[in-house]
Amino acid sequence: MSQDNNSKNVTDKFSIEELIDRKKRNLEAIFDSVPVSLLLVDEHLNIIRVNDTTRKLTNKDYCDIINHSTGQALNCTTVTIDQKECGKGQACKDCPLRLNMQKTLQTTEPVHEFEFQSKTHFQDREQNPWFALSIEPVIIEDKNYIVVCLHDVTERKSAEEKLIEAMEMKSQFISTVSHDLRTPLTAIKEGIDIILEGLAGKVKKKQRKFLELAKRNVDRLNLLVNDVLDFQRLDSGGMKFDFTLHKVTDTIREVTEIMTLLAKKNNITLTVDIASDIGEAVFDHNRISQVLTNLLSNAIKFTPQNGSVSLEAIRQHNEIVITLSDTGIGIPKEDLSKIFEKFYRVERTANKTQGTGLGLAIVAQIIKRHNGRILVESQPGKGTTFTIHLPVDPAESDTDKDAANG
């Protein structure tokens, strides 16, 4: 019986050891299969364990990595060129990898997704590599270690830099072309106006028809150029804003007086209701006028004859709320979330009038720069309502947001 127990104990012992060994191999397999470089580093910043990705990254055998410093393993300038011990070179005091490893070992605070471009490691590369670095502290057998994750993101960073460069070139090209178009367009428009006014001689009825058609197309092209330039400046942050105190009523009245003439021409009723206590607010008069002009002209343009357009403005808490409604053809539900995107145009089957596709994108950007917001509701065949919320003071609105985020 005793012999049977001893045999059973031996068998159990072997079974436990086999189980532990199997789990160890499984963990090592998982460790090696991770597609980013993993290093187990001790308190002296020596490498104790690495995965297969690290071996491929360094193009070295395990024996040339394990029990060596990170500088030796990653072909650092200090070790390979200056022939100094890792940590003893001039560049070591500014090494992002070394500084972050020391910080985690000293404070036990992890590092997550810290991106840096190494100017000292991997001297065999044509360009300095970029890494996303993460570090986690671990305790193994009562000793402090860190697990260092080095994700080589050089290709992504290179692609991002090329994309930024391409976008800057595109932006510069569009801006240059738009500016160059303005001068000849102005000359063409002035020439057409001179002929239409009869200053160059009598204009026949058929000639006038074609000249007016040409003038409308020049005006449309001029609008497109101005919209492109405005959006380009807004998108790049190049548009300057003059935030000063204004009477809200004066700005709204200035716009609606002009728009009333357009509404009458299209047989549309335009009503304006401004609260008597609306008072003053800080905003850019010209840019808010541009917003209101764009929204009102769209409302008139897409409202059938005998329809109506209304503008209401009130002061609500620390905001100026302006509501613009029409009884027009409306906007399909699937388009509502996209109408503020640049160059997006709604397919208006009931009205073939087309714009540049930039007007509402510019409106949204101007409102955003005022720390405001714009909302839209619409039903096809029944009309559309835009609601603008402008803070009485954009600077105070910024402070409120920072306090809320803090």
**pLDDT average per 10 residues of sequence, the chain (406 residues):** 51 61 63 80 90 85 88 84 83 88 92 88 80 91 90 88 78 68 80 86 86 81 74 73 94 92 92 95 93 93 93 94 95 88 65 64 91 94 94 76 49
pLDDT given for residue 350 in this prediction = 45
pLDDT in tens, 327-366: 999 988 888 888 888 767 776 544 444 556 778 888 999 9
User: Any residues with CB less than 8 A from the CB of 119 and at least 6 apart, and which?
Assistant: 77, 91, 128
pLDDT given for residue 352 in this prediction = 47
Q: With contact defined as beta carbons under 8 Å apart, do 171 and 162 qualify?
A: no
Q: Which of 297, 215, 288 is nearest to 247 (CA)?
A: 288
Residue 225: other Cβ atoms inside 10 A: 18
CA distance 81 to 369: 52
The label of the residue with tokens 């976008």 reads 167
pLDDT given for residue 36 in this prediction = 86
How is residue 239 written in tokens? 């548009």
Q: Which of 138, 150, 149 is nearest to 43 (CA)?
A: 138
pLDDT given for residue 30 in this prediction = 64
CA distance 330 to 381: 6
pLDDT given for residue 355 in this prediction = 57
User: What domains lie within the chain, and their CATH numbers?
Assistant: 34-152 (3.30.450.20), 158-236 (1.10.287.130), 244-405 (3.30.565.10)
Q: Indicate the pTM of the whole model.
A: 0.54
Q: Which of 237, 222, 235, 229 is nearest to 176 (CA)?
A: 229
